[in-house]
Chain A
Amino acid sequence: DIQMTQSPSSLSASIGDRVTIICRSGQNINNYLNWYQQKPGKAPRLLIYIASNLQSGVPSRFSGGGSGTDFTLTIDSLQPDDFATYYCQQTYNGVTFGPGTKVEIK
C-alpha cells in the first residue's frame, strides 16, 4: 500500500487567511492525487482531482499543486464555510487516504 501523510494535522486560521496543506506519498503517484473536504456528520466533498483540476462547482479560492510525491492544497482568503477537515487521496496504486488536516477558527 502507498502510505500518505499530511501536514499539519491541524491548524488554526482566521477569515481571509491563505492556508496551505501538504500531502506526501510514499512513492511517485504520477499526480493521481485528489483532495476532499469533510464537515462533521457529512459525506466528503471532492475539491480537486488529479492534483490540480478544480471540481465543477468548487470555488476558485481552492487550488491544488505539486507532482511526484509532494502535493499542496491551498485555500486563498479562507471563508467561514471552509472550516472543515481536508483529506488527500492517492489513486495511482490502489486507493489510500491521508490522515486528514483539520482547519479550525483562530
Chain B
Amino acid sequence: QVQLVQSGAEVKKPGASVKVSCKASGYTFTDYYIHWVRQAPGQGLEWMGWISANNGGTNYAQKFEAWVTMTRDTSISTAYLELSRLRSDDTAVYYCARSADIFKGLAGDYWGQGTLVTVSS
C-alpha cells in the first residue's frame, strides 16, 4: 500500500536550518510529484511547493522561494524539504503529499503523517 513516512519532530533555534524527509513506498516514486504543505498551530493549510520526483523540477510558492529547497533521492524514494534562516513563525507541522499530474488536478491523494518543527530560542 502507498505510504509516505516523514522524519521525526525537530526543535531548532532561530536562524538555524532544518531538513525534513519523506520516504515513499508502495508505488513508483518517479511517477508522481511530492508537495510540501505546512500548518501552523491552530491555523489552516499553506502550500509551500512541489518537486517532480521524475526530473527534480520544482515549483515553489513565491513566499518561500528564497529560503526553501526541495530535493529528492530516487535511489531511496525519498523527498526532502530544507528550510533555512528559521524564525519562530516557522513553527508548524510540515506535511508531504503525493500527487499525480494536472490531469488528476495535482491533488494530494496520499499524505505523510506530518513533522512538527518547533523554532524556539
Contact = CB atoms under 8 A, between A and B. Distances in A.
A96 B114 CA distance: 19
B112 interface: yes
Contacts, number: 67
B111 A49 contact: no
Contacts of B77: none
Contacts of B46: 97
A97 B44 contact: yes
Interface string A7-43: 0000000000000000000000000111010100001
B102 A91 contact: yes
B11 interface: no
Interface string B97-121: 1000010111111011110000000
B47 A46 contact: no
A90 to B, nearest CB: 10
Interface string B34-49: 0101000000111100
B62 interface: yes
5 tightest A-B contacts by CB?
A: A43-B111, A49-B107, A91-B106, A49-B105, A50-B105
16 contacts: A32-B102, A32-B105, A33-B105, A43-B114, A44-B108, A45-B111, A46-B109, A55-B107, A87-B44, A87-B45, A89-B47, A89-B107, A94-B47, A98-B44, A99-B44, A100-B44
